[in-house]
Amino acid sequence: MASPKLAPFLVVAALMLRASHAHLSPFFHAKTCPQLPFLVLNVVAQALQTDDRAAAKLIRLHFHDCFVNGCDGSVLLEDVPGVIDSELNGPPNGGIQGLDIVDNIKSAVESACPGVVSCADILAISSQISVFLSGGPIWEVPLGRKDSRIANRTGTSNLPGPSETLVGLKRKFAAQGLDSTDLVALSGAHTFGRARCFFFTGRFDNFNNTGRPDPTLNPVYREQLRRLCTTQQTRVNFDPITPTKFDKAYYTNLINLKGLLQSDQDLFSTPRADTTAIVKDFAANELAFFTQFVKSMIKMGNLKPPPGIRSEIRQNCRRVNPVKAYDIM
């Protein structure tokens, strides 16, 4: 008998196995790879047993993929001089992790269903399963993406930065067709995972060259962070209370001036911002957060590559297929 914890996943997985012929649909792989949700679930669950950051790593990869040329698996492509200028070389992707987990998922999927599930789809469904296994909502993931044969390193400038102001955040989200509610909801993925200290230690003492600490950073929390940051490469939990759980604590932290990154805290602390009320709503109502998070994840996951880009189902997520093997769309 399935455990009560897995019951919602089994319901959604069953729905995803219904037949459909839509291009991007939760049921796209119902006939070609009916065991897909369970294959991904197994690998992600195994990864979480030894790496409590595995879930956050996977959802970050999906986010960073979709914001550059749409959700096309391009973030996974490694550098090939003269051929692929990897997005992994872009500054916003410095220190990004989780490619080994994607490799393991791809290996399991290829063994069961060779040549039918894209790496872009793997990022999308592994993000959903990561959220669910961490205590968050479950949803039907639209599938049927293809993998790009190119990367766009310069396009990584589209990604929000850790010191981004709210104006910059809104501009970058709006460029993807995402509004303020999507911005606040998707930022809630920072309810788990960690960030390296050099992304936020500038808030401690001489914030924006003022000679003073960031006034929107709780002083007690600031000193806790200072003690934790023994090096600039040290990774610190986004949420100091429930660091591996997907919950609404991120928003409570913002209200208490305990947002780890400036880009987090600005969602609440920017004067007269429309995002402040959304943060308060999600802090008071976890169901409201979960409901909107699902809507915003599906919306982001539907971002399409620009027209004319060649695509395929990659055999190895880190490399394009040999020319003779790929299927040009």
Mean pLDDT of 73-93: 95
pLDDT above 90: percentage of residues in the chain = 89
Residue whose tokens read 């990864």: 47
Are 146 and 186 in the same domain?
no
Determine if residue 247 is labeled as part of a ligand binding site: yes
Q: Return the beta strands (E) in 150-281 as ranges.
A: 194-196, 235-237
CATH number at residue 238: 1.10.420.10
Domains: count for the chain: 2
Are 194 and 290 in the same domain?
yes
Task: Give SS3 for 316.
Answer: strand
Distances from the Cα of 141 to the Cα of 24, 32, 99, 107, 253, angstroms: 9, 16, 21, 21, 29
Determine if residue 161 is labeled as part of a ligand binding site: no
Are 150 and 170 in the same domain?
no
Determine if residue 205 is labeled as part of a ligand binding site: no
Q: Which of 192, 241, 242, 207 has the alpha carbon at shortest distance from 221?
A: 241
How high is the pLDDT of residue 130? 98
Indicate the average pLDDT of the chain. Answer: 93
Determine if residue 266 is labeled as part of a ligand binding site: no
| Residue 328 confidence (pLDDT) above 60 | no
Asked whether residue 13 is assigned to any structural domain, the reply reads no
pLDDT above 70: percentage of residues in the chain = 91
How high is the pLDDT of residue 23? 78
Element (H, E) at 134: none
How high is the pLDDT of residue 163? 95
Instruction: Please give the positions annotated as active site.
Output: 64
How high is the pLDDT of residue 209? 93
Q: Spell out the residues 6+ positions from residue 65 whose beta carbon is closer than 8 angstroms to its own.
A: 71, 72, 73, 74, 75, 76, 120, 123
Asked whether residue 21 is assigned to any structural domain, the reply reads no
Asked whether residue 8 is assigned to any structural domain, the reply reads no
Are 123 and 229 in the same domain?
no
191-249 per-position pLDDT tens digit: 999 999 999 999 999 999 999 999 999 999 999 999 999 999 999 999 999 999 999 99
19: left (phi over 0), alpha (psi -120 to 50) or beta: beta
How high is the pLDDT of residue 42? 98
| Residue 18 confidence (pLDDT) above 80 | no
Are 293 and 199 in the same domain?
yes
How high is the pLDDT of residue 5? 59
Mean pLDDT of 81-99: 94
Mean pLDDT of 126-130: 98
Determine if residue 177 is labeled as part of a ligand binding site: no
Determine if residue 78 is labeled as part of a ligand binding site: no
Are 82 and 147 in the same domain?
yes
Mean pLDDT of 61-81: 97
Element (H, E) at 147: strand 147-148
Mean pLDDT of 288-304: 98
Q: Are 47 and 162 in contact (CB under 8 A)?
A: no
Determine if residue 72 is labeled as part of a ligand binding site: yes
Torsion of Cα atoms, 70 then 196 then 49 then 29, to 10°:
0
Q: Spell out the residues 6+ positions from residue 255 whose beta carbon is closer than 8 angstroms to its own.
A: 268, 279, 280, 283
Are 222 and 126 in the same domain?
no
Give the rounded distance of the alpha carbon of 24 from its chain centre.
19
Determine if residue 275 is labeled as part of a ligand binding site: no
Are 260 and 207 in the same domain?
yes
Confidence of residue 19 (pLDDT cuts 50, 70, 90): very low
Determine if residue 242 is labeled as part of a ligand binding site: yes
Are 295 and 306 in the same domain?
no
**End-to-end Cα spacing for the chain:** 43
Domain range for 176: 166-299
How high is the pLDDT of residue 7? 53
How high is the pLDDT of residue 323? 81
Count of beta carbons in the 10 Å neighbourhood of residue 98: 23
How high is the pLDDT of residue 6? 61
Element (H, E) at 26: none
| Residue 315 confidence (pLDDT) above 80 | yes
153-175 per-position pLDDT tens digit: 999 999 999 999 999 999 999 99
| Residue 1 confidence (pLDDT) above 50 | no
